Amino acid sequence: MQLYSVSQLLKQENKLPEVEVKGWVRTFRANRFIALNDGSTLNNIQCVVDFENMEEAVLKRITTGAALHIKGELVESQGKGQAVEIIVSELEVLGDSDPEAYPIQPKKHSFEFLREHAHLRTRTNTFSAVMRLRSALSYAIHKYFNDHGFYYMHTPIITGSDAEGAGEMFKVTKLDAKNPPINGNGKVDYSKDFFGKETNLTVSGQLEAETYAMSLGKVYTFGPTFRAENSNTSRHLSEFWMIEPEVAFMDLPGNMDLAEDFMKYVLNYVLEHNRDDLDFLEQRLLNEEKTKPQAERSDMALIEKLRFVIDNNFKRVSYTEAIDILRNCKPNKKKKFKFPIEEWGIDLQSEHERFLVEKHFKCPVILFDYPANIKAFYMRLNDDGKTVRAMDILFPGIGEIVGGSQREERLEVLKEKMAALDIPEEELWWYLDLRKYGTAVHSGFGLGFERLVMFVTGMGNIRDVIPYPRTPQNAEF
């Protein structure tokens, strides 16, 4: 007798006299129909028990959440809703699940409740679909870069420099918390800490990725990054995963080409490989939106939104041009924006980005050449002396999803920018070395992985797209 996964069983086209399957009960209906799931697919296999010939004591143990080992015959299903089903010949309860105590009842639970039971929430359709998609997206990302000659690089998590200034950092320490050593200046003496200096959790692997791009050519990172900001929103995590490709000899237009091709590839990948999960999540979102006022519903269904990105060319627009459009657009003139657009130089908000994508251009948009003073020090200064070779990619529904730039490759210009921001050269001596020895044009971008998973799954809260979210006041599990 052969052990099958539910996914394998559901694909069988012929009767099989003897099959074996192990999984968990989702529902048990009419003392007869077990919906069994093993995580291999969204769908359940229906297992039909002959309740008249089964011990009452065993029947009672077939409850939601119980683990079963089932043997039987795979046949064409008589009922609706499934092509095949198992006529059970043997059934063993591997692990019981007390129906009174089991938190995951066969009914709708709120996402807030499920967050408190995050160790069990992948036993629901929604979260198993989300996490299968998260896994498929990860694989698609690795596959894309591997197929395109990129090397995967593990940039350090614990870092001795806080020079990038991308956000507040968590401290990593082994010092005695109550009685830290104090130096002659009355400050905590980090020279006595584990690494002999103050260390933090990384906010980005980009600077280290640049060192490898300038030797291996094309590299990318995909690892955890951290922000110690007290942001309790549905879009922020204290710990999240980021993808950062970095390529030598690539300029900003090349960076745009790469990002567009890459985003289309990963979305296409899940459309091809995870259609069941996407269909389910699309339906879930439609049901959720029915409870909202018309004005708050999305214009596009989930899969339509993915196709919108895949099927359209990304429109490339300079920041300056975008500001002109926004200043003169109806919502701005009618004061419909929460943050009115008045002058060149301001940072754009999600409402402006979404207007450009959803109403004005009706396609994904790449904005480029941003004002230097709203962007990071390492971005290449344009000849106008006031803009930098930055780019942001804007998607429907969420606004910015990718941020990147061509990097400043000129030693003297970079030094000046660092000096203006009080970034000490000693902190980034190795980063400056890249500009001293064989410098060249190079570029890259960053993609917050959870933002991508939100876009693909239609989940509205970032805490629902990562297994165990870390947020202010929350590091459970």
In one-letter notation, the amino acid at residue 320 is T
Per-residue contact flags (x/-) with a second copy for residues 49 to 88, judged by CB under 8 A: ----------------xxx---------------------
Q: Is 7 a residue that touches a second copy (CB under 8 A)? A: yes
Give the HSE-up count for residue 322: Cα atoms under 13 Å, Cβ half-sphere: 29
Rounded to the nearest whole angstrom, what is the least distance from the CB of residue 1 to a second copy in the complex?
14
Q: Nearer Cβ to a second copy, position 227 or 352?
A: 227
Query: Rounded to the nearest 10 degrees, how much is the dihedral formed by the CA atoms of 275, 280, 286, 290?
Result: 180
Look up residue 330 and give its two tokens. 């109806």
Rounded to the nearest whole angstrom, what is the least distance from the CB of residue 295 to a second copy in the complex?
36
**Residue 265 — φ and ψ, nearest 5°?**
-60, -50
Give the separation between CA 157 and CA 202, rounded to whole angstroms.
5
* Binding-site member from 30, 57, 101, 295 for a second copy (CB under 8 A): 101
Rounded to the nearest whole angstrom, what is the least distance from the CB of residue 267 to a second copy in the complex?
18
Give the HSE-up count for residue 474: Cα atoms under 13 Å, Cβ half-sphere: 17
Give the separation between CA 177 and CA 280, rounded to whole angstroms.
49
**Region 172-191 residues binding a second copy, contact defined as CB under 8 A:** 172-175, 177-178, 180, 182, 187-188
CA angle at residue 343 from 339 to 347, to 5 degrees? 55
Rounded to the nearest whole angstrom, what is the least distance from the CB of residue 239 to a second copy in the complex?
5
CB 380 within 8 A of CB 352: no
Q: Is 5 a residue that touches a second copy (CB under 8 A)? A: yes
CB 39 within 8 A of CB 71: no
**Residue 450 — φ and ψ, nearest 5°?**
-65, -30
Q: Is 44 a residue that touches a second copy (CB under 8 A)? A: no
Rounded to the nearest whole angstrom, what is the least distance from the CB of residue 407 to a second copy in the complex?
13
CB 42 within 8 A of CB 276: yes
Q: Is 364 a residue that touches a second copy (CB under 8 A)? A: no
Q: Is 248 a residue that touches a second copy (CB under 8 A)? A: yes
Q: Is 166 a residue that touches a second copy (CB under 8 A)? A: no
* Total residues in contact with a second copy, by rule CB under 8 A: 105
CB atoms within 10 A of CB 130: 27
* Binding-site member from 32, 33, 39, 331 for a second copy (CB under 8 A): 39
**Region 367-406 residues binding a second copy, contact defined as CB under 8 A:** none
In one-letter notation, the amino acid at residue 53 is N
CB 18 within 8 A of CB 2: yes
* Binding-site member from 22, 71, 109, 307 for a second copy (CB under 8 A): 22
* Binding-site member from 33, 51, 111, 170 for a second copy (CB under 8 A): 170
Residue 82 CB-density burial (10 A; 0-12 exposed, 13-18 middle, 19+ buried):
middle
Distances (CA, A) of 157 to 141, 161, 199, 391: 20, 11, 10, 26
Question: Interacting stretch for a second copy, rule CB under 8 A, among 166-174, 278-286, 309-317, 454-462?
Answer: 166-174
**Region 208-247 residues binding a second copy, contact defined as CB under 8 A:** 208, 211-212, 215-218, 223-224, 226, 228, 230, 238-239, 241
Q: Is 448 a residue that touches a second copy (CB under 8 A)? A: no
* Binding-site member from 414, 434, 454, 462 for a second copy (CB under 8 A): 434
Q: Is 156 a residue that touches a second copy (CB under 8 A)? A: yes
Q: Is 131 a residue that touches a second copy (CB under 8 A)? A: yes
Q: Report the DSSP beta bridge partners of residue 317.
A: 367
Rounded to the nearest whole angstrom, what is the least distance from the CB of residue 237 to a second copy in the complex?
11
Rounded to the nearest whole angstrom, what is the least distance from the CB of residue 23 to a second copy in the complex?
8
* Binding-site member from 290, 313, 330, 437 for a second copy (CB under 8 A): 437
Give the separation between CA 225 and CA 237, rounded to whole angstroms.
10
Q: Is 135 a residue that touches a second copy (CB under 8 A)? A: yes
Question: Interacting stretch for a second copy, rule CB under 8 A, among 122-130, 330-338, 350-358, 366-374?
Answer: 122-130
Quote the DSSP letter at residue 295.
G
Give the separation between CA 176 and CA 367, rounded to whole angstroms.
48
Q: Is 142 a residue that touches a second copy (CB under 8 A)? A: yes
Residue whose structure tokens are 């041009």: 321
Cα 292–chain centre separation: 25
* Binding-site member from 44, 46, 126, 155 for a second copy (CB under 8 A): 155
Q: Is 262 a residue that touches a second copy (CB under 8 A)? A: no
Q: Is 25 a residue that touches a second copy (CB under 8 A)? A: yes
